[in-house]
Amino acid sequence: MGATLLASIGTTNFALFSTNARSVVLCLFTEGDLRAGRTTHEVQLDPLLNRTGDVWHVALPDLDSSLLYGYRMGGLHQGRDKGAAAAGQRFEESCVVLDPYARAIIGRRSFGQLGPDLKYGQAGVLGAAPTWPQAAATLPAPGPPFDWQGDRPLGLLMEDLIIYEMHVRGFTWGGTAGVRSPGTYLGLVEKLPYLQALGINAIELLPVHEFNELEYYQVIPGSDQFRFNYWGYSTVGFFAPMARYSAAAVGGGGGADVVDEFKTLVRECHKRGIEVILDVVFNHTAEGNEMGPTLSFRGLDNRVYYMLAPEGQYYNYSGCGNTLNCNHPVVRRFIVDCLRYWVLEMHVDGFRFDLGSIFTRAHSQWHDVGAASEDAARDKPGEPLAAANGASMEPAMKPLADLGSSQPSTPPPPPAAPGIMPNAAGSPTGTPLNDPPLVEMISEDPVLQNTKLIAEAWDCDGLNQVGAFPHYGGRWAEWNGTFRDAVRAFVKGTEGPWAAAFASAVAGSPHLYRDAGTPPGDWWGAHGGRRWRGGRGPAHSVNFITAHDGFPLADLVAYNQKHNEANGEGNRDGEQHNLTWNCGAEGLTRAPRVLRLRARQQRNLAAALLLAQGVPMVLMGDEYGHSKGGNNNTYCHDSPLNWFNWDLASDESNGFARFFRALVRFRQRHPELRRGYYGGLDFHGAAPGAPDFGEASRLVAWSLGDGAGGGLYIAFNASHRAQVVELPHWPGRAWRLVADTSKEPPYDWLEDDGALTAAQMADVHAAAAAWLDDGLYALLPYSSLLLTSVSAPPWQEPAAQQPLPRSAAAARTRPAPATAPAGNPTERPRASAPPDRPAQPARASGAGSPAAAPQHPVLSAARTLAARIAGQRAPQESGAGLAHPHIVARPSLSPSSTLPAGTARVVACSGGFYNRAPRWSRRRCY
């Protein structure tokens, strides 16, 4: 399909599918004529000679490769023609439509460039608006093949990926990048060393298929800014790379130059060990609803390519005006052909499918009825039409209702209407399918077998398939929105079942991808999706806390409410449910306490993302703290709101950027954080092996071994109270501090990178060891901790250690009960226990219990001090303007304060609890 050059005979073959067209004209243009709105030459196709089945085709010799082409399609239009045969038809012979298989498209040369204003109806002139200039496909050109320089697929394991979601234009536009070709594929190539140094090994490009950035172009009310389709989730050409992201197009190059520039980007990424994943939008197109423009599919065969109701209205499962008829045989063949092209010809490594659940919905299928059938249908409107195979089928009249828990597994049949019927399996249009043909076709395609497939497993009509997207033997991973919500809610200390949810999230969401059970309220998982639940691993969970839609990381901790006034929609747009906390002041502030807490919470969120099992996805700019000023819906802004700020990213004084880079490097060095299987995580609470996942819990800790005697200990305290934790005891091993987010930079991460002198590093490790040697650590409010296991020095061998309390030893060997403890708020399997191990009994008070056991003297002193500190605390979070304390109130301690005899001095500092003797800590104390 498309235009194919037969170089050996100097002929170009054109092939196009349309089952309902009555005439086809091939239109050829020079670029000058295209700008003027006129065709250079037209070729009328003869249906007797140039049609085979439903494929229209013609071969033309000796064409100049600089020519462009499109098609005029003749046929019925339901707006002007009468009868059932016209329902759903939208042929518009005055429009030149694009070939959906076009490999390159030329419409305008520069991003945001307006086209000519050409009025419809003028003789010999193609009508076009400045914001919708006429576009045409380029012809295949002879010439040497692209030099891939031996490029081969990297074949990185899914669990080893650190994905970076990014925008091609925004990454190098705005004046701070310092590249030769800002806003282009080549500009991105110039900045690949930055991504490589950051530790990124996969980039997920926001849509790079050809789209119209001026689709929404108008002045934003109340400003001098214009509204753009900046993200690009509104495709015009699926085979064509976005031309205005190309330095070649801006410089006057042809379609082949645009394609080669994109190939250069992929090749150079692979040289640096970076895979390329495309965010693709096969759920809808830029043609919009019934009032939208005719660009391609609508004018080629509207009935085939779109999901339609009987009177020709568009189903809108995408929320963008139309829905591609994805499971129609012709459409699914088109989608697979497109994916194959990007893998074979462009060498991309994977795809993220926007609103992927639309792939699982039944397609609409039209049936041409004669006058007799039409009359019969009119006489008996409640009777189903007869399908071609004689089976009785019910047509679909409207989209399915909200898919809540009350939705039946088989929707009731809608009344019949002439002209449309369900698919061949009898499923009404839009029904979620247990075994969707398109998803199976992609999963089983031999060319795509080693391609990474990531589903956004929901759509805009309430179908949520997270954890149960049809995966055909684990071929599909999923964007895990459950991870996002659990981490955001827990880290800010939200009341409710968030400790259990957070523990499951950092364990790789086994309740979604390992367990076959269905969580409460999961309609799809309890019905058609039951067969797809369980049987997968942590690498099928693409974990993210932020994405292009919504708040960036810095704004999650600075705003309680969205502030989208700059979009010109009265702040009505954008997500309402954001799970954010401003830490005491809304937006910009100079309050030191608020700023310190915000910085700490940013570090906590980053740590949760990069220390969790699963595949982390980082949003462009989060690594240096990019802010959008509280706007959580910046789809329409080609402005600094969305542009990467290279000055901030390269600022050596940016402590968060250093912390983030260190986290990425740490994840790369520790394969125990990147397991492809479940297991090996032991969850803890204030004592080892005794996690508390109740609704009041704000402490989650876990340890995991590295298979060589070592491992990690990770803990999060999401409370406004300090918390002393007793660490797991591993014979012959000692714990060494890596990171404590309560500390100010550069003390928040201990690494030999030059930020700290050797003397400073030794001092901090010595202070921490005074606690760690006793098997304890104190977590300040809203902080997280990372320890690594090292070989114990001789004086710390078990024989020389002070005995721990009997309660602690008992906690390590306590047998698992037959059933999980009561009080599990989520009722998930083993959710009240560590997600990867048997449930542990609750700690009870009384004789022989931990509460009644003799206390370790340092532990007793530390807990006494923590209680005193937490006694003075700020109000609880209860809405905008009310703040948690960013750090607990100053304790009534002084250098002359005394602690129980026989213990060292315990000091509460901005960097955590230090056990220092004989002098008072010189660090700032509270």
Give the torsion through C-alpha atoms of 862, 864, 868, 870, to 10 deg. 60
Helix-, strand-, coil-residue percentages of the chain, each rounded to 5: 25, 20, 60
How high is the pLDDT of residue 701?
97
Q: Looking at the structure, tell me whether residues 122 and 217 fall in a common domain.
A: no
Average the pLDDT over 607-626 and give the result.
97
How high is the pLDDT of residue 842?
37
Query: Hey, which of 267-281, 425-439, 808-822, 836-850 has the most confident mean pLDDT?
Result: 267-281
Distance CA 92, CA 78 (A): 11
In this model, does residue 448 exceed pLDDT 80? yes
Q: Looking at the structure, tell me whether residues 115 and 234 fall in a common domain.
A: no
- Do 705 and 711 contact (CB within 8 A), yes or no? yes
Q: How confident is residue 889, by pLDDT bands cut at 50, 70 and 90?
A: very low
How high is the pLDDT of residue 902?
36
Our count of domains for the chain comes to: 3
Q: How confident is residue 174, by pLDDT bands cut at 50, 70 and 90?
A: confident
Q: Looking at the structure, tell me whether residues 23 and 118 fall in a common domain.
A: yes
Q: The domain containing residue 691 runs over which residues? A: 682-802+831-842+853-926
In this model, does residue 905 exceed pLDDT 80? no
Bridge partners of 853, per DSSP, are none
**In this structure, is residue 36 part of a structural domain?**
yes
* Least trusted range by pLDDT, from 57-61, 435-439, 689-693, 800-804: 800-804
In this model, does residue 434 exceed pLDDT 80? yes
Q: Looking at the structure, tell me whether residues 127 and 218 fall in a common domain.
A: no
Distance CA 238, CA 249 (A): 18
Q: How confident is residue 751, by pLDDT bands cut at 50, 70 and 90?
A: confident
Burial class (CB within 10 angstroms; exposed 0-12, middle 13-18, buried 19+) of 852: exposed
Q: What CATH code is carried by the domain that includes residue 66?
A: 2.60.40.10
**In this structure, is residue 647 part of a structural domain?**
no
* Least trusted range by pLDDT, from 164-178, 190-204, 705-719: 705-719
In this model, does residue 833 exceed pLDDT 80? no
The percent of residues above 90 in pLDDT, for the chain, comes to: 59
How high is the pLDDT of residue 821?
32
The percent of residues above 70 in pLDDT, for the chain, comes to: 77
Q: Looking at the structure, tell me whether residues 15 and 108 fall in a common domain.
A: yes
In this model, does residue 923 exceed pLDDT 50? no
Distance CA 190, CA 198 (A): 15
Residues for the chain: how many in total? 926
In this model, does residue 82 exceed pLDDT 60? yes
For the stretch 187-207, pLDDT in tens is 999 999 999 999 999 999 999
* Least trusted range by pLDDT, from 102-111, 415-424, 691-700, 823-832: 823-832
In this model, does residue 851 exceed pLDDT 60? no
How high is the pLDDT of residue 881?
33
In this model, does residue 266 exceed pLDDT 90? yes
Q: What CATH code is carried by the domain that includes residue 729?
A: 2.60.40.1180
In this model, does residue 413 exceed pLDDT 50? no
In this model, does residue 812 exceed pLDDT 90? no
How high is the pLDDT of residue 666?
96
Q: How confident is residue 810, by pLDDT bands cut at 50, 70 and 90?
A: very low
Q: Looking at the structure, tell me whether residues 281 and 133 fall in a common domain.
A: no
In this model, does residue 619 exceed pLDDT 80? yes
534, 566, 599 - which closes a domain:
534
How high is the pLDDT of residue 300?
95
In this model, does residue 773 exceed pLDDT 80? yes
**In this structure, is residue 735 part of a structural domain?**
yes
How high is the pLDDT of residue 860?
54
How high is the pLDDT of residue 795?
57
Q: What CATH code is carried by the domain that includes residue 449?
A: 3.20.20.80
Average the pLDDT over 475-486 and give the result.
96
* Least trusted range by pLDDT, from 40-54, 381-395, 453-467, 738-752: 381-395
In this model, does residue 822 exceed pLDDT 90? no
**In this structure, is residue 224 part of a structural domain?**
yes
In this model, does residue 411 exceed pLDDT 80? no
Q: How confident is residue 863, by pLDDT bands cut at 50, 70 and 90?
A: low
In this model, does residue 900 exceed pLDDT 50? no
**In this structure, is residue 905 part of a structural domain?**
yes
Q: Looking at the structure, tell me whether residues 224 and 345 fall in a common domain.
A: yes
In this model, does residue 360 exceed pLDDT 50? yes
Distance CA 637, CA 230 (A): 6
Higher pLDDT, 350 or 135: 350
In this model, does residue 831 exceed pLDDT 90? no
Under 8 Å CB-to-CB from 803, ≥6 apart: which residues? none
In this model, does residue 123 exceed pLDDT 70? no
Active site residues: 354, 456
In this model, does residue 686 exceed pLDDT 80? yes
Average pLDDT, the chain: 81
- Do 714 and 507 contact (CB within 8 A), yes or no? no
Higher pLDDT, 559 or 144: 559
Average the pLDDT over 596-600 and give the result.
97
Q: Looking at the structure, tell me whether residues 715 and 863 fall in a common domain.
A: yes
Sign of CA dihedral 683, 685, 688, 691: negative
How high is the pLDDT of residue 366?
78
Distance CA 657, CA 663 (A): 10
For the stretch 633-680, pLDDT in tens is 999 999 999 999 999 999 988 999 999 999 999 999 999 999 999 999
Q: How confident is residue 597, by pLDDT bands cut at 50, 70 and 90?
A: very high
Q: How confident is residue 886, by pLDDT bands cut at 50, 70 and 90?
A: very low
**In this structure, is residue 539 part of a structural domain?**
no
How high is the pLDDT of residue 539?
96
How high is the pLDDT of residue 134?
74
In this model, does residue 138 exceed pLDDT 60? yes
Q: How confident is residue 843, by pLDDT bands cut at 50, 70 and 90?
A: very low
How high is the pLDDT of residue 250?
84
Backbone angles phi, psi at 571, to 5 degrees: 60, 20
Q: Looking at the structure, tell me whether residues 66 and 211 fall in a common domain.
A: no
- Do 859 and 776 contact (CB within 8 A), yes or no? yes
How high is the pLDDT of residue 405?
32
How high is the pLDDT of residue 797?
55
In this model, does residue 179 exceed pLDDT 70? yes
**In this structure, is residue 273 part of a structural domain?**
yes
**In this structure, is residue 553 part of a structural domain?**
no
Q: Looking at the structure, tell me whether residues 224 and 106 fall in a common domain.
A: no
* Least trusted range by pLDDT, from 148-162, 524-538, 835-849: 835-849
138, 160, 180 - which closes a domain:
138
Q: Looking at the structure, tell me whether residues 110 and 212 fall in a common domain.
A: no
In this model, does residue 121 exceed pLDDT 70? no
How high is the pLDDT of residue 127?
56
Q: Which amino acid is at 779?
A: L
- Count Cα neighbours of 902 within 13 Å in the Cβ-side half-sphere: 5
Closest C-alpha to 914, from 795, 799, 747, 689 = 747
Q: Each residue of 46-55: b (16+ CB within 10 Å) or e? A: eeeebbeeee
Q: How confident is residue 862, by pLDDT bands cut at 50, 70 and 90?
A: low
Average the pLDDT over 61-76 and give the result.
93
Distance CA 907, CA 869 (A): 11
Q: How confident is residue 845, by pLDDT bands cut at 50, 70 and 90?
A: very low
113, 138, 163 - which closes a domain:
138
Beta strands in 75-212 (DSSP E): 105-106, 136-138, 163-166, 202-205, 209-211
Q: Looking at the structure, tell me whether residues 91 and 216 fall in a common domain.
A: no
